[in-house]
Chain A
Amino acid sequence: MSTPAPNPAQASRAAARRRGRYGAPALLLAPFMVLFTACTLVPIGYAVHLSLYTEHRSGLGFGGSETVFTGLGNYTRALGDAAFRAGFWNTAQYCLLYIPLMIGLSLLTALLLDSALARAKRFFQLALFLPHAVPGIIAALVWVYLYTPGISPVIDALGGAGAQVDVLGHPLSAVVNIAVWEWTGYNMVIFYAALQAIPREVLEAAVVDGAGPLRTALSVKIPLIRASITMVGLFTVIGSLQLFTEPMILHDVAPGVVSTWTPNMYAYSAAFERNDYGLAAASSVLLALAAAVLSFAVTRASRGRSRKEDAA
């Protein structure tokens, strides 16, 4: 500032402003950072700490227990447990089936809505989105009823048509269907919003070049909303690893869904059925690590692809 001689009042106000420059942001950030530290960073640190210890019960288990450092012992125990590995295998199969199916359906419905031929767009968007308003546990409850022969109008109708369907005997498809139902509309809205943001000139240019609707969708629209597809992919991967509520409900009715069917259920049963906190903490940390690795892979893969296209 080129004010010749600042009077004292102005100077002190300027000083207060300067203090405000750091004071105000610190004050505004503090509540979130405190909560974030307490509910995210500290639990992660505590889980890592706990995962390195194990409880040794003395003799008959009466003399109390002592906590012993075991290094990576809990991790090798978790990884050495066939049930834990089976949980990851179930999750992998679930991802391979669910992610392409759900993203494919969301993209398809978004492209259909985005086409000039669709009518009642607001109604369709809302109707497809509504499952998101249903808590996961209620979605699972309702679908279990709809899977149960005798109660379900769908299974009965199929049975009447001569098709005997045993959904509860196929836990993987049963869980995938619930997840597809819950998330397709939600992600469709994201894709639809991204499609609407594509500049009209680009689409007109494609039409002028003689591209039909299918060609425009595949070669113009989908590449242009790649950022959204990556983001949805990322959140879907993180969400898939957390799979718990739906299989937990199916656990009661489908014999194929054991209490350690997903890594998350394994951690839960380690903590609450076996009281093995070290093992529970180690499996939670492994789960978080798997999420980190997969997230990294998803972002890396999409970034690599876009860089290649930039170079071309």
Chain B
Amino acid sequence: MSKTAVNGALVLATVYTLLPLGWLVTASAKNTGDLLVGRTLTPERFHLGQNLHDLATTGDGIYFRWYLNSLLYAGLGAVLCAFVCVCAGYAFHVYRFPGKEQLFGLVLLGVLVPTTALALPMYLLASELHVVNTFWAVFVPSLVNPFGVYLARVFCAGYVPGEVLEAARMDGAGELRTFWSIGLKMVMPGFVTVFLFQFTAIWNNFFLPLVMLSDNRLFPVSLGLYAWNTQTHAFPEYYPLVVTGSLLAVLPLVIAFVVLQRHWKAGLTAGSVK
């Protein structure tokens, strides 16, 4: 096995993963006609500005409303979810109480339930409670992530030494104060990791918004692009909108993953190496 063979294989794999992203970048600079005949891009055929303008004006700028919705669902949802998970993970790590491991086992079983198998029952339940087609119908379910609790417990075991908590108690800090000013700060890397994964999961979620929402002003970007895409057969001018909109929708996650490399790697490692 030579150095060239190893690196050549890796380059080949990288071309495969980056090619569709490269296509997305060039395609979003094409107009409808050039996109649909697969014409290559030349400087005089550069339509990115026009596409962005169309994106901002179509349907009274509904795309950027979807974008803000996604930021709200994913940003606020992931912060709250990470906090809730860290609270629970900390409690599982620090305290001893009756039935603890059984309760933790129940949470782990939750990891195994397919989320899309849950989405439909959740829709049926929400329609019973008359909360279908509201912000809450998509937001509240996104706060739950049993795997996040598992990760938070693993992170607490790694970052929160018992002696430090004992010292805080000796100094007279109450349990909640100890958690808030010491435990939470120490487990911050875990918090960021759970946040990052939940942000991605909510941003990418499609099935739950699809079943829950019918008012397009509540749509996240994923659902909005889907709705536009189903119209492309009748209205080909939606093609550049879908493509350019997709590029913008991918950007925040790509940037987050490039900047926060250390964190997602730590998260994947904590999940895998027990």
Contact = CB atoms under 8 A, between A and B. Distances in A.
Partners in one complex: yes
B13 A156 contact: no
A150 B239 CA distance: 14
Interface hub of B3, B113, B123 (most chain A Cβ within 10 A): B113
Interface stretch (A14-22, A55-63, A68-76, A93-101): A14-22
Given A151-B36, A264-B117, A141 B242 contact: yes
A241 interface: yes
Interface residues of B, number: 93
B2 A29 contact: no
A84 B143 CA distance: 32
Interface stretch (A166-174, A201-209, A265-273, A303-311): A265-273
Given A24-B179, A141-B225, A35 B84 contact: yes
A231 to B, nearest CB: 6
B263 to A, nearest CB: 12
A117 to B, nearest CB: 4
Task: Provide the main secondary structure of the chain B interface.
Answer: helix
Interface string B103-118: 1000100101111111
A138 B268 contact: no
A291 B23 contact: no
B146 interface: yes
Contacts of B128: 46
A249 interface: yes
Nearest to A288: B117
Interface residues of A, number: 103
A161 interface: no
A207 to B, nearest CB: 14
Nearest to B207: A244
Interface stretch (B14-22, B46-54, B58-66): B14-22
Contacts of B110: 36, 40
Task: Provide the main secondary structure of the chain A interface.
Answer: helix
Interface in B107-139: 107, 110, 112-118, 120-125, 128
A127 B122 CA distance: 36
Contacts of A288: 113-114, 117-118
Contacts of A27: 176
Given A20-B174, A39-B118, A292-B112, A115 B268 contact: no
Given A133-B254, A138-B246, A281-B121, A145 B23 contact: yes
Contacts, number: 281
A25 B97 contact: yes
Contact of A228 (B204, B222, B273): B273
Interface hub of B10, B149, B261 (most chain A Cβ within 10 A): B10
Given A43-B121, A126-B257, A150-B36, A264 B206 contact: no
Interface in B159-199: 169, 172, 174-176, 179
6 contacts: A39-B144, A40-B144, A112-B9, A227-B272, A244-B116, A277-B124
Interface of B: 1-3, 6-7, 9-10, 13-14, 16-21, 23-24, 27, 35-38, 84-85, 87-88, 90-92, 94-95, 97, 103, 107, 110, 112-118, 120-125, 128, 140-141, 143-144, 146, 149, 169, 172, 174-176, 179, 200, 203-204, 206-207, 211, 221-222, 225-226, 229-230, 233, 242-243, 246, 249-250, 253-254, 256-258, 261, 264-265, 268-269, 271-274
Given A44-B113, A184-B13, 5 more contacts: A20-B174, A20-B175, A35-B144, A143-B20, A242-B117
